[in-house]
Structure 1
């Protein structure tokens, strides 16, 4: 009998608290429970900045029920996360502690880039021909209570992932303001959205967009109410409903209220996706039902069965976006890829001996791809310029802490290049990655990939690097000598480079 695994995922969002329990067997996922309890945490936090005691009590009651179901099903692994509402709540630590004490659930607040990575990872299990959409020019636009996420795929790779800082709650507030000063508040809101997405609008118009995917917690119930839940709507049908709303929005509000929707937030959601329909000019909008819950389940499956490598293309998406970022700055992307490959070989040889983690590997790869972007601003101190630029970035799949690690590694490379002994005061976990990167970078100091790292082996106190090269130029040897000294001071290991013609 093939292995059967039970996984549970809890998502505490702005509009509700959701649970999904599934059975996984032979790459097939069967839902056992899927429950949503409406709880408007987002509105409360948006207005008051905190979660009230009454709301917290209600949240705990819901989670106690979820925890009981998880026990009854004997779920072997659970992930419980909270998103925008708790991220913004000033009393979030109290909320998390209360949940832990009363339900036994350990809830993790995840940041937006991590949330989006998990959500898109669910594509493998939720869209039957996901590879076709990834191959063709496809844009995914997601509107949540706190922001908008725009993702573009082509050639089975994520090319861009951008965030625009307008969510449905902000848009609802803007609609309220426009209605006080104009009888054409819907047109005013549409113009406002066009202004906010102007930068992405210009980029998308240059792309050959074949598929437009609209996502978000409110668009799905809207489609259920006004389009009978279909997953694909012709553009002309969507525009026809918009034109009707412009003439008479009462029918829209009444239908929303009948099913318990916040009609104003639903209205701004509808307008928002209409703006992108105008931009991409496709004949059809699709509504893929991707969710954070399914992404959490995908992550647990991936963790449980790493050798199966079921989500490989999705796990590579973050590095694809970092590569594209470096490319947009006009850098030696071939050098960046070369450094990434060499550093991964060195990392793998050291991983077990020095207990290097999967997070270390991700941070290493992003740094390898981005460490020279500062050259677009400052050719002299580009490592520090890179660090500054990275700190202002949103790197897909990375938390703020992890982005800071990437920036910090660039600074370590800069300090090492300048011969600053104080660099050794940096955190050991980052120094190790910095030493690996410095060595990989030095091997391609010529930027022409003339030295190929073929094999890396750790034997006792020496790391052996087998490289294919006829001869090492003096300036490359000088770079290698500096990198080797730094490496020895960090790892306590000697380096021996073995040349093969």
Structure 2
């Protein structure tokens, strides 16, 4: 009997609009194949963002879907799994009840990730795709923007270093819920929404300043719809579009009301309601930093879960590269708050000597070591506000 030389892994994502599972057979980050994909649409975001609670019928529906996923995992002989929940579950007041029900009915343990980890997980998948496409930031910067149902992540990369990372609670479903139906159908909706978005992402504008970027990389829940409206192949992994063509598309879209969108693009009403917030948000983002080229990737959060798991298990080089990118962000934050770099590096050096001697005895690993490095680099930035009580 031939010996099995691969591991079977399941990545499960409980998102605001979709419950997804991806089963992969892997040897390492270069040798793996996805053998099964399952996606079930759920209306979790609308319920949670409006009332801050997951309705009991929806809890039962989620558990039933996961019972089916668990049977499929057994059929494929899944040996490892990671299940993560994002925005809608993170903000639900009855989160613990949902997680308890899932565990009791399926045995699955859910990790509810915060927004920075959510955006970073997606970032890892996108960066891996762009490197495969030979798209680099060595000479010119890249602004990566991921729009989900409940949030927006903005990451500026230059010279292969993360120079800025910000997260904002202005996802597509959240924007839609911020405006009542009669306001969305009004001819003044475009102007009101544009002003709302402009004021919300103002901090990004201040942070980026005069930064120059070549690429604006877009990803998120509504990119498939955007590609369809642009007449592009949704199955293609990466699309490269000239900024001028993107602006022309926005100009035509901006003139349309909700009924016109439904008629022109033959869209269902519930889908058309998401188009306008998406397009206007993209337009506002383009005004932040004029880019020469727009890149749209098909990478999803679940792809990031898979890549991080396989990479951490099998690829120390990739793990080191990702760690260095994060450390570059720590130093960028430190510089912004006028930290003493030499002092921070000395504290880091001494702390790591102690950590490496005692880590094994206390059950600590690479993740704790990275957190310690961040702490050492940023431990004094409170001095930017007050020298006397900077430790607070």
State the TM-score, normalizing by the size of structure 2: 0.89
Gap change, CA 1:170 and 1:253, over 3 Å in 2: same
Q: Is the 8 A contact 1:18 1:37 kept in 2?
A: yes
Alpha-carbon distance between aligned partners in 2 of 1:76 and 1:347, rounded to the nearest angstrom:
32
Summarize deviations over 1:294-315 as a string: whole Å, max 9, x none: 1111222133226x33232223
1:98 CA drift (Å):
1.4
Q: Is the 8 A contact 1:4 1:23 kept in 2?
A: yes
Residue 244 of structure 2 is matched in structure 1 by: 236
Task: Confirm or deny that 1:61 pairs with 2:64.
Answer: yes
For structure 1, which runs of at least 5 residues remain unmatched after alignment? 385-501
Gap change, CA 1:226 and 1:260, over 3 Å in 2: farther
Q: Relative contact order (alpha carbons < 8 A, sep ≥ 6): 1 or 2 greater?
A: 2
Pick aligned residue for 1:300 from 309, 312, 317:
309
Pick aligned residue for 1:207 from 207, 211, 214:
211
1:258 CA drift (Å):
4.1
Answer with 349-358 or 134-143: which moved more: 349-358
Query: What are the equivalent positions in structure 2 for 1:97-496 lying under 5 Å apart?
Result: 97-123=100-126, 125-129=128-132, 132-135=135-138, 136-176=140-180, 179=183, 183-228=187-232, 229=234, 231-249=239-257, 250-254=259-263, 258=267, 262-305=271-314, 308-384=316-392
Alpha-carbon distance between aligned partners in 2 of 1:364 and 1:328, rounded to the nearest angstrom:
20
Residue 468 of structure 1 is matched in structure 2 by: none
1:40 CA drift (Å):
1.3
Summarize deviations over 1:453-485 as a string: whole Å, max 9, x none: xxxxxxxxxxxxxxxxxxxxxxxxxxxxxxxxx
- Indicate the SS of the match to 2:364: coil
Gap change, CA 1:260 and 1:98, over 3 Å in 2: farther
1:206 CA drift (Å):
0.8
Q: Is the 8 A contact 2:49 2:177 kept in 1?
A: no
Alpha-carbon distance between aligned partners in 2 of 1:381 and 1:53, rounded to the nearest angstrom:
47
Q: Is the 8 A contact 1:124 1:311 kept in 2?
A: no
Aligned residues: 383
Alpha-carbon distance between aligned partners in 2 of 1:239 and 1:40, rounded to the nearest angstrom:
32
Q: Is the 8 A contact 2:214 2:293 kept in 1?
A: no
Runs of 4+ in 1 over 6 A off after TM superposition: none
1:41 CA drift (Å):
0.2
1:181 CA drift (Å):
10
1:320 CA drift (Å):
1.9
Residue 482 of structure 1 is matched in structure 2 by: none
Q: Is the 8 A contact 1:213 1:287 kept in 2?
A: yes
- Indicate the SS of the match to 1:105: coil
Gap change, CA 1:218 and 1:255, over 3 Å in 2: farther
For structure 2, which runs of at least 5 residues remain unmatched after alignment? none
Q: Is the 8 A contact 2:23 2:34 kept in 1?
A: yes
Q: Is the 8 A contact 1:122 1:298 kept in 2?
A: yes
Gap change, CA 1:130 and 1:369, over 3 Å in 2: farther
- Indicate the SS of the match to 2:82: strand
Q: Is the 8 A contact 2:160 2:325 kept in 1?
A: no
User: Which one has the largest radius of gyration?
Assistant: 1
Alpha-carbon distance between aligned partners in 1 of 2:208 and 2:133, rounded to the nearest angstrom:
21
Summarize deviations over 1:182-239 as a string: whole Å, max 9, x none: 6221122112212222221243351111110112111233223433236222223322
- Indicate the SS of the match to 1:336: helix
Summarize deviations over 1:230-250 as a string: whole Å, max 9, x none: 622222332223222233343
Gap change, CA 1:367 and 1:312, over 3 Å in 2: same
Alpha-carbon distance between aligned partners in 2 of 1:353 and 1:154, rounded to the nearest angstrom:
39
1:343 CA drift (Å):
1.9
Residue 22 of structure 1 is matched in structure 2 by: 24
Alpha-carbon distance between aligned partners in 1 of 2:45 and 2:351, rounded to the nearest angstrom:
43
CA RMSD, Structure 1 to Structure 2 (Å): 2.5
Alpha-carbon distance between aligned partners in 2 of 1:318 and 1:7, rounded to the nearest angstrom:
26
